[in-house]
Structure 1
Amino acid sequence: MTIYYPKSHYDKNHRSEVFPLLKPFVKGNDFTDAQRVAMYGVSDQDFTIVDDIQEAEVCILPMSWNYYLSTKQLPVALEFIEQAKVVGKKVWSFISGDHGVKHPEDDHVVVFRLGGYQSKHRSNHKGMPVFIGDYLLKNNLLDNYLPKTYSEQPLVGFCGQANGSKIQAGLDVIKKGCFNLKSLTGLSFYEPETLVPTSHLRAQLLQRLAHSEAIADQFILRAQYRAGVTHGKDRHQTTLEFYNNILESQYVLCVRGGGNFSVRFYETLMMGRIPVYIHTDGFLPLNDTIDWKHHVVWIEPDEQHKIAEKVLSFHSQLTAESLKVLSESNRKLWEDKLRMKGFFLTVSGIIQNN
């Protein structure tokens, strides 16, 4: 796949805002292809940067739309989009972070995003995975990751932040209300958010699962995100507890966080487990080609009160063998379609065929 991007746009001081697929290629001249493969799983054999826009299969805005807005460089981005239109090339853009930003409607631009609300956007907005490292490979667990036991009771895990306080829920709603007011009055370029206290929602759903005699649970509740750990997170005991909780479960509750997406969702798939996915009108990657309801326990907004019954119904269709098959399938889905290489090659093929 050949890529063109305007090199003058790249800002090394805002690397977190660089389009994900470009990060492996713009680190510097000392960044070898072997390092690129080890860190990102992509090679210059898979993606080639070209200097002539005419030779490119796709043009990429190198920085996030958030960046162009916050640095008042929107005209620069729009000028490049027009340049690509003249030569008949699609432009890939992305919205970074938890909160969506206002993006002009343009069917010539494919907008990748983690969060946002599918019902509020046009078809050119596409869900993008959270690109995470391979914990199983890193810790030599690939030969021993499949579920070891099966029982008629589904085993649901969760390790993370959940707060059942109604007072805190009210404060969270007020905070989001103020956030939305700034958006609606034009004082910020962020899109409005639904007034959902997400930590309280997690607590409610966990409580419903815990109260069901049909469900076996193993929940570790934190008062803060990542238990408040900010340094050495990958090696901290709480991180080990997090991954072990997934590995020792069959199902994992995955609820949106500050943005309308769940990192835990991708971590669960990476570890070959089954997400209990709470659908909140979010974007899932490749939703036109992946039968997500085959891979996850899908909970619609009006089904949250029946979450235990939905998990049990899904589990009752599985045997010990088919549970292992689904675990392998979820792991393979992540490897083939939700890592950087597989995702962008798949998207490129879909767009070109359309």
Structure 2
Amino acid sequence: MLKLYTDQNYLIPENRRIVFPLLFDLWYSPNQNLLEKYELVTDIEDADIVIVPVDIAFFHRNNKHQELNNFITGALNHNKKVWQYSAGDYGKTSDNAVYTFRLGGFDSKLNANTFILPSFITDPYTKIPQSFSSLVKEEQPRIGFVGHASNGWSKKIKEYLGYIIYNYKRWTKKVDTDYQPFYPSAIKRFRLLSVLQKSPDVQTDFIFRKQYRAGSKTEEEKNKTAIVFLENIARNPYTFCMRGAGNFSVRFYETLAMGRIPLVVDTDFRLPLDKNINWSQHCIIAKEQQIEKALIDFHQKISAEDFEFMQQNNRKLWQIYLEREAYFLKIYSIFNTASE
């Protein structure tokens, strides 16, 4: 059992969306399996780990920097491990003495105490009228994609203006996140998908959107586009995955959850539980310039039996490591061992 201390004054209904993710399952919507591993205590002296209760950006937005610093300093003075949560596309890793949980970032710049959170999605097979089954290997690799991918100067100018505006907020201290260089993701997706589309050795099943989720606004429109998206993953053994505004891909986790094989563009990302998972056994990671070759070479080398086995393992990987409850059970194993 790991004993956790936090400032419970922050665990109010208004903070449900910004709370440290594990606290949601311990406080707002109690998860029995997690409650058997973690216990919330009211005295910091009794704790193994101290958790900053909400996204650290909350303290910046509300001019409560000193309150955050005092909370962390107090925990460290008690010789406690400290966990903090940095939400959003960009995120921030701060003190080396603090364990930061975030969605993305650049692996070469992240410290050893940074843990990547998976995107916590619901099981995609609950949204479409089919269950998981592996696809057989065909002569050529067949890859799918549905999403925001467009080209042209107007799009590039729009993305660059958005980048300038965001960094102006960083420079003027209105937001406090790690810096990242300009990365026009929709344009890069279009160009790389076009490379695959033109290849005589690759079968493609692509639907290009000019806006995120095709610009859908109503729940009915969102549900329709979601079904098209998920059915595309289901019918193709490979799915093209690349970062968006932040250096991570939600599609990557959706592909694994559906038991398919992600082809991921290497953008210096870090994947969850990288010390526990051999990611080379679950996806193809390729540099931009080698995307076509990496896919073709992988497909030619893998046996028909291993091809189906990999799909089955990817579905199990999501269920055992990356689903919300499963992830924090693995985190428990890591920190419980370390505290013994």
Structure 2 Cα separation of the partners of residues 14 and 99 of structure 1: 20
131, 134, 138: which one aligns with 1:146: 134
Structure 2 Cα separation of the partners of residues 233 and 86 of structure 1: 52
Structure 1 Cα separation of the partners of residues 294 and 157 of structure 2: 29
Contact 1:155–1:249 (CA under 8 A) maintained in structure 2: yes
Q: How does 1:146-185 map to 2 (within 5 A)?
A: 146-147=134-135, 149-184=136-171
Q: How does 1:253-332 map to 2 (within 5 A)?
A: 253-300=240-287, 304-332=288-316
Deviations 1:324-348 (A, max 9, x none): 1001111111111112222223233
Structure 2 Cα separation of the partners of residues 118 and 321 of structure 1: 33
Contact 1:100–1:116 (CA under 8 A) maintained in structure 2: yes
Change (3 A) 1:241 1:182: same
Q: TM-score, normalised by structure 2?
A: 0.91
Contact 1:184–1:192 (CA under 8 A) maintained in structure 2: no
Q: Secondary structure at the match of 1:289?
A: coil
Task: Confirm or deny that 1:134 pairs with 2:123.
Answer: yes
Change (3 A) 1:106 1:319: closer
Q: Secondary structure at the match of 2:201?
A: coil
Contact 2:197–2:204 (CA under 8 A) maintained in structure 1: yes
Q: What is the CA RMSD across the aligned residues, in angstroms? A: 2.2
In the TM superposition, residue 13 of structure 1 has moved relative to its aligned partner by 1.7
Structure 1 Cα separation of the partners of residues 220 and 253 of structure 2: 18
Structure 1: unaligned runs, 5 residues or longer: none
Greater shift after overlay, 184-193 or 339-348?
A: 184-193
Counterpart of 1:9? Answer: 10
In the TM superposition, residue 249 of structure 1 has moved relative to its aligned partner by 0.5
Counterpart of 2:199? Answer: 212
Structure 1 Cα separation of the partners of residues 133 and 216 of structure 2: 27
Counterpart of 2:23? Answer: 22
Structure 1 Cα separation of the partners of residues 75 and 173 of structure 2: 29
Structure 2: unaligned runs, 5 residues or longer: none
Change (3 A) 1:48 1:267: same
Task: Confirm or deny that 1:99 pairs with 2:87.
Answer: no
Structure 1 Cα separation of the partners of residues 221 and 124 of structure 2: 10
In the TM superposition, residue 323 of structure 1 has moved relative to its aligned partner by 1.1
Change (3 A) 1:343 1:233: farther
Identity of aligned residues (%): 32
Contact 2:61–2:174 (CA under 8 A) maintained in structure 1: no
41, 49, 66: which one aligns with 2:57: 66
Task: Confirm or deny that 1:122 pairs with 2:123.
Answer: no
In the TM superposition, residue 181 of structure 1 has moved relative to its aligned partner by 4.2
Q: TM-score, normalised by structure 1?
A: 0.88
Aligned residues: 337
Greater shift after overlay, 227-236 or 202-211?
A: 227-236
Greater shift after overlay, 77-86 or 184-193?
A: 184-193
In the TM superposition, residue 294 of structure 1 has moved relative to its aligned partner by 1.7
In the TM superposition, residue 78 of structure 1 has moved relative to its aligned partner by 2.0
Greater shift after overlay, 55-64 or 8-17?
A: 8-17
Greater shift after overlay, 117-126 or 261-270?
A: 117-126
Structure 2 Cα separation of the partners of residues 339 and 115 of structure 1: 17
Contact 1:136–1:145 (CA under 8 A) maintained in structure 2: no
Structure 2 Cα separation of the partners of residues 44 and 234 of structure 1: 38
Deviations 1:282-330 (A, max 9, x none): 2311112211122111113xxx122111101111122222111001111
Greater shift after overlay, 321-330 or 46-55?
A: 46-55
Task: Confirm or deny that 1:112 pairs with 2:104.
Answer: no
Contact 2:128–2:231 (CA under 8 A) maintained in structure 1: no
